[in-house]
Structure 1
Amino acid sequence: MEWFWSVLTYSVLCAIAELQVLDDTPQLLRLLSERAAMNACHDAEARYPQPNCHPNTRVKTLARLGRWVEDRGGTVKVCWVYGSAGVGKSAIAQKVSEDHFNQLVGAFFFSRNDSTRDILYPFVATIVYQCCTSIPLKYIVGPLIFDVIRSNTNIFLTTSENQFRKLLLEPFASVAPEMRRALPNLITIDGLDECIDLPSQQRLLGLMDLAIAFHTPVPFKFLLCSRPEPQIRHGIDSSGFASCLERIQISGTTIRLLGVLSESDLDIRRYFLEKFAELRRKYRSVLRAEGEIWPSEDQVNELVWRASGQFIFAVTVIKYVDSMDERPQDRLRTILSIQSGEIQGSPYPDLDMLYRQIILTCRNWDKIYSILQLLVTPHPNLNCVSNSRIQWHSSTIIFNFKIGQVETLLSRLHSVMHIPEDPNFQIQILHASFTEFLLDSARSGQYRVRKYSESEYCNHVTVLLLRTLASYAPWYPPYCSSEQSFDAAFTNWQKKVGFIVHSTLPHLSITHWPDYWCKVESPSASLLAELERFDTYLIGALTLTCACDPAHSLLRWNDCLAWAKALDKKVPQSFIEKLGVFFRGCSIGYHKDTLRLNAVRGTFELECGIVNTSRRKFADCMVDSLTWYYKQWWSEELGSWDFLPMLLPATPEDGILFNELVVVHIPKANASTLKKVYGVYRSLKGGAQKTMFRNDIVHDTSKSAVCGLVEIEDLEAFKALLYKRRDIFAVLPAENSSPWSDSDLSVSDGECDTA
């Protein structure tokens, strides 16, 4: 019988655990996706159109890689595909990932043009996310990975090496050997040279080393594609996996010097012939005078020769010729007429001349220049800011142009840029070689584009964030016209802020505008205008409503004020004055039907932020103590509205009903009391002393003062402050309803020693 109950208990516990796993899987996947660089996946929308091999090209290379991927018993664990810029490495990585998707654990495509995937930090989370969402891995390895995350939700704050070991190597090693050998095993890494931090490149090679040398054999194979940069070549040569490495060079330069076409040349020739055939069909009427043979064989051969094995040259030529602006034969003639000898010392003279010709056709270069300047500047990865969900380079975000203007300005750059139809998606430079061309004055000449400094770029972002916040002013109830009822205005405001969710631009604007502002060294005219109209009450209300840690976010405003003062005359005096007035005191108002507990907590959050005491645990503890009566003894639920505080200028009266608001005044004078009490609370030793302090607040006693833990004046001032807030929000029970007797509230002999 005992055995029966043991088995039954075990079964029930297993069932509960299984339900728990099922219940929290969406939350764990959401946590993973927030840490991952979703743009780096092989099927990411942000990479559309993904580079891919043209049909019937790279046949030998793809066949060789295919045999390697499918060979379960081979000794080669790393295949390094390398070559110069534009030869088609990313297309090969994409093609292999698609053709062998059933063997794919995950892929990561680095790009220096996308700040979410130009660093090592999100690499492991991205591979793990793909592992947990693909069949069959999500059923076999996924639960093991989720167990690790449950046991340490901060694992993504540890090193990439630890993440890789705990989230990939150990879960895979835990699978039974016969099953492990049958699991998907391919990890694709493209563009390692586009990881902007050179030491991180070596660390990623170290992760591969870690996998191959792991004490329990894991089945991983790594397809690594990159340029043969010296630091990468050295890292590979000195790695522990050099003995199980295969190298595949994508280049035809050496063979072409002997007068023989390489595989790259033959593939590019095939690509040209097929694409020109498509153009002949598309522009039949325009090309009717050219005859059936257009372009001529000599012209095709010239283009193949100029491509020098670079597929990017061929792709760009076709996109440039395929234009409604001019006749395709005229555009082809222009390309063939340009002389690469004009560019001295360029590693890619023909490609550079092609890029110059494309830019030459553009109008309004000054406006295009400002757009390109933003596109070639990586978005700064501030430690405190997670920006993986923000499409920074979409036309609706960073560019201050009218709707459709960005698309019109960039229309003649379609051969080198991807301009999505949806204005909320990223505008992308299609290839790193064009970015390098723009940044190198020796190659681009008069078309050289200068990167923004961090200060200049943060200036643009700060303008964007402050404009986003200012756009909420028409819906802020205190600013609504008298013709509209307050309840109607409040309902509209409730709907408006309800769309502010984590990782969206409005949420990032609320929580992180100070981080970007404090990086600006010389505000632009646009930023000065935004600072002039900065509204502390509107933005403060949004912060209290939507920020994860309102007190901390408001505390950052102190840094903003200090930075503004440091910049002195560069900043509008009105901005400094508005922040100064705010920190000297303001009022907070709630709809009369707001939940009282929310109102008490929100007021205390604001108090902590204004008086420079951002201590979340302390604040929570004090508010919990303050509202003990309410939670234990009050049977009615006071209020039904969501927590939507209104901030207003300071007013001398508390607790009044003003335009349907219960208003509380928060003066700067409370700062001294709060700071002193926090200092005392932080110095208390052990749970007994803190419990005594909390009980003094709950019971209105003075045990902690009698025991010398706190000055009686400070304790009484603090209690008076909290009780005043409590009285305003009517969370006290009827008078004389305290459940404690006098003996409960007295100090017994030796109690101070125990505490």
Structure 2
Amino acid sequence: MPSFQGAHDFNIENLIQAQTYTTVTVGSTSPLEVLRGHIAPGALHNSRERADSPNKCHPETRVAVQEEILRWVAEPIRPTEQILWVTGPAGAGKSAIAGSIADTCYERGDLAASFFFSSFSGEVNRRRKQCLVSTLAYQLRQHPALQGISREMLASIDNDPAVFEKCLLDQLKLIILKPLGSFVARGFGPSQSGAWCPVIIIDGLDECEPDEDEDAQKVASGLPPRTREDEHQEILSILKYALDSSAFPFRIIIFSRPERAIRQFFSKELESGGYFSKIFLDERYNPGLDIGRYLRSRFAAIRDRYHLPNTWPTEEQIQALLEAASGQFIYAATVIRYVEDNKNLPVIQLKHLLEVHSPSSTPLEPLDALYTQIINTSPDPFSSLCSNCGTKTALTSDLPALFCNQFLATIPGEVEYLLGNLTSLVDVPPIGDATSPYKFYHRTLQEFIRRPSRHAKVAGAREALDCLAGLNLLLSQYIKVLANKGPCIPLEQDVETFLEYFDCLALTPIIMKEFSLTFVRTPVYDSLLACDVPWWMNRICSMNVVVRSYVFSQLSIIIHSNCQRYRCRPACNYWKESILKCRTLVPIDDNPQNRGKRVSFWHTRSHLSTSWFWKNVYLLVPADSLAVNDLDEGESSERMTERMEGT
């Protein structure tokens, strides 16, 4: 007799689901085992891999920013603030902050899931996106408040075992959104009223990189390879899709550098009234104070271990380290790792570190590895180095970034193309900002750029990239501006503003120190033969005396410095002859007894050697400020011109 004879009012749905989960497997593997096989264990906030490295903030440091983030987590959920983007320069301590926030949220029950990308990890799945959705799903099903989604999630995997070979969006739909939708529809899970607002934390999004094997297959098929930006855009797009879904009751915190694709995503969201908040780790959070606490605490532990005197390190040494750190925690962490190295006693190690300018000293290898990794993300790493080197070598720090772009670019968008992925190292003003300058976040980056031994692993690095590389770039562009009477890319407006900044370029001291025949042999030097010298003379002579003498001094070094003693280059002769033929110019006497007395060119004929000329050319003054009868012997300007031409 059947067991259910006469029974009625059964609800069969749950029985069918239970049978699905208990009897069906994917081949010989259960759905749970399939899911487990597609996660990145090292990407979990409390993974063993992350425990082996500094993954949290040092006690009593980064307190203000942590409190601000945790306030955001505790606030009732608002449609306009579903994403918090925590960004800042490379080495600012974002991952440590993310680790501390993840631990705190986990203890409070507010952490739904997390994923910590790392380009330096030995685990490939932490460097790529393939395991992102599955790792988040694995954690969601383990959360005490979300146990009800487990069956639906495993059923989706059971029904489509190849789900993890699909794109991220399809994975998200099938193994997260679909189970969550069913779970929430039954009245379970996080409250939509905002009483409980669990968060998903994603750290190091900028460190996600393409799959090399997949790229090789694409290239073999004639398709373009994936870029890091493609990966960043895809991840952000699926997160946005999730937040747009009513079945997704979480908020997301993203920690990343301000890379190009990430900046563009949030810029578009901002323009469209999107739903994100932003925290930028700048001086507002006083990182120098926290770094000081960290260094003093770690040095104290080293003193105790080696029984060193309380006077070590000295306050002057700590201040030197703080200045070099430029607010970047990675520098401080690198210092401590180096001092604790057992190669030498800590006192000797610290001394070597403070003598880092020595070519044989390499205590900053971890920091150099970070710089190299970031710069190699540029489409042309070596050119980006030259551009940075040129900008910081001689372009004064107060010149606007817009002018620097106009000055350095030879084709539209070139500077943005080179620097777009380096915004975690260089503060790039937003488009439309015509006054703010570029700024290096890291003081040590300048040393990295200037020392070949430190940037040797930058892709395409060749020869010695010191000041000369940046200087050659600057001189080339300077001469091109002289030839074009403006930047290489013509401006439709504000040309005069560009020229005013161009007049202020502080090249002379650098050129006098570094100028080399290496540069003047380049074809760019011949562009000086195409310059409209009278036009430039009229412009220069309209300047005040101080600026005029400075500009002439700069020109003389560029044009004449590498001429032979008794034979000038054609460009030098061309400029000298063109200046002498300018009817609007006469010199003033440089004799101390006749200081300021105006004299005619022909009276200086015996002194018109090229060296004398370039030494005294800055004494030229506009002739239209003189009366004709002021000229010696009362001769006319026409007669003066004839004598000038004869000279």
TM-score by length of 2: 0.49
Point out which structure has higher relative CO (alpha carbons under 8 A, 6+ apart): 2
